[in-house]
Structure 1
Amino acid sequence: MDQVSFENVESTTKGSKGANKKRKWREIEAIKDRIRLEEELQSIDFNYSLSEEFEY
């Protein structure tokens, strides 16, 4: 029968928390970039709407 080792469980959970934080920040930055792009495009063309093409 296989034995279960819990020695590495704590280290993998800490690593996944850091990865989740980085992923969240990447998602936040991507949303900010889309908003910034939409504002720039609207300043060029007042009738342009990026939100029709992309959903947040």
Structure 2
Amino acid sequence: IYSVSQLKVGDLVFFFNDLHHVALYAGNNTVIHAPRTGTVVRYESMDTIGGPFMFGVRV
């Protein structure tokens, strides 16, 4: 389990207390994700996800 400062490109990052949102870390505080069902996958700052970052994992 990793904190924001320990993340590396390719890590899975989990948001919200119930972990209902997962994204792929792209570096520089940016993730690749689909904000909601039916939307286009895009790069976005982790600061604009809308919920708290919980942790990252490396697989």
| Greater relative contact order, per chain length (Cα 8 Å cut-off, separation 6+) | 2
Q: TM (normalized to structure 1)? A: 0.21
Of structures 1 and 2, the larger Rg is shown by 1
Q: TM (normalized to structure 2)? A: 0.21
Structure number with the higher strand fraction is: 2
